């Protein structure tokens, strides 16, 4: 009976992941087989042409995405970690209101933020720049980061902080030498998600970096779809490469991913 | 981690508050006021929220109330137009179809995401061999960059060379012009969006199921309840709070879906899959001559809808936390 369930589970998972399989399959298909009907269901004569195209044309885009992702992680942690410590352990008056504002902030549609940022960035001269994109992308992660870090930091035993106080540590030292090291896992989780969202962002990139010299991989793929819709193996190969961070996240932080999916449902 | 355990950890932390506070003040007599410190740590996030949330939102409202041209957009001297942009948007021929598409897209997506997510959550509720691994694999669609999912679905739904039409061909259904015909383009983006949203529903509903005590099922089994009876009389009613949260959050997130639609169809052909989100984008960024005023106005209508459901969600969640 249990094996029957495992069997059904395998079939359901295979169905669900079929598009992912198809992406990999198409990325390995030769140009000549691309328009075959019906298409090749297995990469019978696999080719790496698509991946060669990625190496030739998409590496700069991947580099920009890497920089934008890391920048977003840094900015997010600097803003969110102290705030979470305060909300979790220092009990500021009005902290509930702040959490409420953060929850609302998560619900604002991206297009609205993009238009506001566009007007501001144009006036400030940071349109089409990497720092501008980092700032915009960080808005995807900061509310989530504060809320989820607050939840994790609330679990730090007060006795631990109390002991530090007795030893004469101030709030800043307690934060740096106790709260941050103890929260290492949650900080890593938040960093992974912030990186993933910045890496995946399309709406800010396409509005705020449309004319930029340094564009992220999402715009690389988008331009690919627009320009040469014949070479789908190259497009899908780029898509496979662009999926690597998501795959790593699932392998490295599997048990935190579920918590990330429910991020919006975090209380307060 | 399940929602319920997190909630419990939270609540216990809160109820033990006063005791700990007293302890802290005792050991802390010489330092500055705790409130002062607490707010010092909050300063970065408050500055951040003001500059990078409040200010763009304010600019967006301002955009919607002025009559911008490309020149005045740069110079910033556009004349005040009051609600002229909103009147223009309401009178636009795109308004009614975009509203209808937004409603259809949101409701149909949610109905399928929720039903499939719930069925999967029930399926995974009792552990079996590999169940944890398979459940993790179900998260993949949610983790992939939207441009990856959207372009993969675009190629799968290609009229001539797509795998979907190839499979449909085997069972005798003629080629469907998924992305290029006005009858099907909205359904195409809905199908892709359902796929992306299933993991979210699965995870939330699964954690809700884990919170139902097994004793309830044992009692139902003793009373001789059949499988379907157990689902409809026990699981479904007990899951209602989590279901409400899942659906309302889904509403907020689905209303603002932009990437999938724009990448797959650009809202076309001839506006057949245009929602408020893509319409707003097209007005602001999709044409050679941008119309930021009306674009911002459409965006603000969208935010009103999203926030209405968002506040309802928070209200319901708060009420649940109290009971």
Q: Does B13 touch chain A (CB under 8 A)?
A: yes
Chain B residue nearest residue A252, CA to CA: B136
What total of structural domains would you count in chain A?
Answer: 2
Inter-chain contacts counted by CB atoms under 8 A, chains A and B: 317
B233-292 pLDDT, tens digit each? 888 888 888 898 888 888 888 988 999 999 999 887 988 999 999 999 998 888 777 788
Q: What's the pLDDT score for residue B33?
A: 62
Same domain, A116 and A195: yes
**pLDDT tier at A47, thresholds 50, 70, 90:** confident
Q: What is the ipTM of this complex?
A: 0.88
Angstroms from B87 CA to nearest CA on chain A: 19
Q: Does B19 touch chain A (CB under 8 A)?
A: no
Same domain, A193 and A241: yes
Q: Which two tokens stand for residue B71?
A: 């020149």
Tell me which residue range forms the domain holding A198: 50-265
Say which CATH number the domain at A203 has.
Answer: 1.10.3720.10
Same domain, A36 and A56: no
SS (H, E, C) chain B: CCHHHHHHHHHHHHHCHHHHHHHHHHCCCCCCCHHHHHHHHHHHHHHHHHHHHHHHHHHHHHHHHECCCHHHHHHCCCCECCCHHHHHHHHCCCHHHHHHHHHHHHHHHHHHHHHHHHHHHHHHHCCCCCHHHHHHHCCHHHHCCHHHHHHHHHHHCCCCCCHHHHHHHHCCCCCCCCCCCCCCHHHHHHHHHHHHHHHHHHHHHHHHHHCCCHHHHHHHHHCCCCHHHHHHHHHHHHCHHHHHHHHHHHHHHHHCCCHHHHHHHCCCCCCCCCCHHHHHHHHHHHCCCCCHHHHHHHHHHHHHHHHHHHHHHHHHHHHHHHC
Same domain, A33 and A71: no
Asked if the Cβ–Cβ distance from B139 to A151 is below 8 Å, we say no
Which range, of A7-11, A20-24, B29-33, B74-78, averages the lowest pLDDT?
Answer: B29-33
Question: Which positions in chain A touch B321 (Cβ < 8 Å)?
Answer: 267
Q: What percent of chain B has pLDDT over 90?
A: 33
Asked if the Cβ–Cβ distance from B42 to A87 is below 8 Å, we say yes
Task: Assess whether pLDDT exceeds 70 at residue A127.
Answer: yes
- Classify the phi-psi angles of A128: left when phi > 0, otherwise alpha if psi is within -120 to 50, otherwise beta: left
Question: Which positions in chain B touch A5 (Cβ < 8 Å)?
Answer: 123, 128-129, 131
Q: Which CATH superfamily is domain B94-322 in?
A: MetI-like (1.10.3720.10)
Asked if the Cβ–Cβ distance from A108 to B306 is below 8 Å, we say yes
Same domain, A2 and A76: no
Across the interface, which of A6, A90, A258 has its CB nearest the CB of B203? A258
Across the interface, which of B140, B145, B203 has its CB nearest the CB of A218? B145
Asked if the Cβ–Cβ distance from A104 to B160 is below 8 Å, we say no
Question: Which positions in chain A touch B160 (Cβ < 8 Å)?
Answer: 35, 37
Chain A residue nearest residue B28, CA to CA: A165
Same domain, A17 and A62: no
Q: What is the mean pLDDT of chain A?
A: 87
Most confident of A56-65, A163-172, B84-93, B158-167: A56-65
Rounded average pLDDT over B168-191 = 90
Angstroms from B63 CA to nearest CA on chain A: 8
Chain B residue nearest residue A207, CA to CA: B285
Partner A, chain B 38-97, Cβ-Cβ below 8 Å: 38-42, 44-46, 48-49, 52-53, 55-60, 63, 73-74, 76
Task: Assess whether pLDDT exceeds 60 at residue B26.
Answer: no
Separation between Cα atoms, residue A147 and residue A256, nearest integer Å: 14
Q: What percent of chain A has pLDDT over 90?
A: 41
Q: Does B9 touch chain A (CB under 8 A)?
A: yes
Q: Between B244 and B23, where is the model more confident?
A: B244
Same domain, A26 and A154: no
Same domain, A118 and A11: no
């Amino acid at each position: 009976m249990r094996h029957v369930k495992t069997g059904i589970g395998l079939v359901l998972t295979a169905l669900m992941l079929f598009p992912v399989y198809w992406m990999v399959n198409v990325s390995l298909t030769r140009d000549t087989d691309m328009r075959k009907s019906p298409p090749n269901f297995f990469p019978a004569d696999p080719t790496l042409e698509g991946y060669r195209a990625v190496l030739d044309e998409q590496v700069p885009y991947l580099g920009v995405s890497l920089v934008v992702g890391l920048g977003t992680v840094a900015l997010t942690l600097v803003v969110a970690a102290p705030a979470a410590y305060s909300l979790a352990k220092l009990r500021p008056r009005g902290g509930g209101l702040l959490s409420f504002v953060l929850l609302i902030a998560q619900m604002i549609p991206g297009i609205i933020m993009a238009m506001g940022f566009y007007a501001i960035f144009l006036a400030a001269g940071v349109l089409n720049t990497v720092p501008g994109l980092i700032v915009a992308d960080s808005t995807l992660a900061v509310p989530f980061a504060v809320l989820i870090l607050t939840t994790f930091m609330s679990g730090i035993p007060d006795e631990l902080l109390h002991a530090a106080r007795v030893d004469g540590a101030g709030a800043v030292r307690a934060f740096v030498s106790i709260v941050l090291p103890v929260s290492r896992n949650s900080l890593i989780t938040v960093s992974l998600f912030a990186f993933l969202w910045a890496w995946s962002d399309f709406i800010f990139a396409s509005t705020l970096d449309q004319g930029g010299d340094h564009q992220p991989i999402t715009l690389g793929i988008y331009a690919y779809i627009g320009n040469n819709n014949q070479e789908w193996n190259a497009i899908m190969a780029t898509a496979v490469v662009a999926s690597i961070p998501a795959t790593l996240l699932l392998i490295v932080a599997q048990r935190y991913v579920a918590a990330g999916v429910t991020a919006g449902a975090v209380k307060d | 981690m399940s929602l319920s355990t997190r909630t419990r950890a939270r609540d216990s932390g809160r109820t033990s508050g006063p005791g700990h506070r007293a302890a802290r003040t005792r050991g802390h007599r010489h330092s500055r006021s705790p409130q002062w410190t607490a707010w010092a740590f909050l300063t970065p996030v408050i500055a951040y929220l003001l500059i990078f949330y409040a200010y763009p939102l304010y600019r967006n409202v301002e955009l919607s109330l002025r009559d911008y041209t490309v020149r005045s957009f740069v110079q910033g001297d556009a004349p005040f137009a009051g609600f002229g942009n909103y009147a223009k948007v309401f009178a636009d021929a795109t308004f009614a179809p975009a509203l209808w598409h937004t409603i259809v897209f949101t409701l149909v997506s949610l109905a399928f995401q929720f039903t499939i997510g719930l069925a999967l959550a029930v399926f995974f509720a009792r552990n079996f061999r590999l169940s944890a691994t398979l459940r993790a694999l179900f998260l993949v669609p949610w983790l992939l960059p939207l441009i990856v999912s959207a372009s993969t679905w675009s190629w799968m739904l290609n009229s001539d060379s797509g795998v979907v039409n190839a499979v449909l061909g085997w069972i005798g259904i003629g080629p469907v012009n998924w992305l290029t015909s006005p009858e099907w383009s909205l359904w195409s983006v809905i199908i892709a969006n359902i796929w992306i949203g299933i993991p979210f529903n699965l995870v939330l509903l699964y954690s809700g199921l884990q919170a139902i005590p097994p004793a309830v099922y044992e009692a139902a089994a003793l009373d001789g309840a059949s499988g379907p009876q157990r689902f409809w009389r026990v699981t479904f009613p007990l899951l209602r709070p989590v279901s409400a949260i899942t659906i309302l959050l889904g509403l907020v997130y689905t209303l603002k879906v932009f990437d999938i639609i724009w990448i797959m169809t650009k809202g076309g052909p001839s506006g057949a899959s245009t929602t408020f989100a893509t319409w707003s984008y097209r007005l602001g960024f999709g044409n050679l001559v941008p119309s930021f005023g009306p674009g911002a106005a459409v965006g603000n209508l969208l935010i009103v809808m999203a926030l209405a459901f968002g506040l309802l969600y928070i209200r319901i969640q708060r009420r649940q936390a109290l009971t």
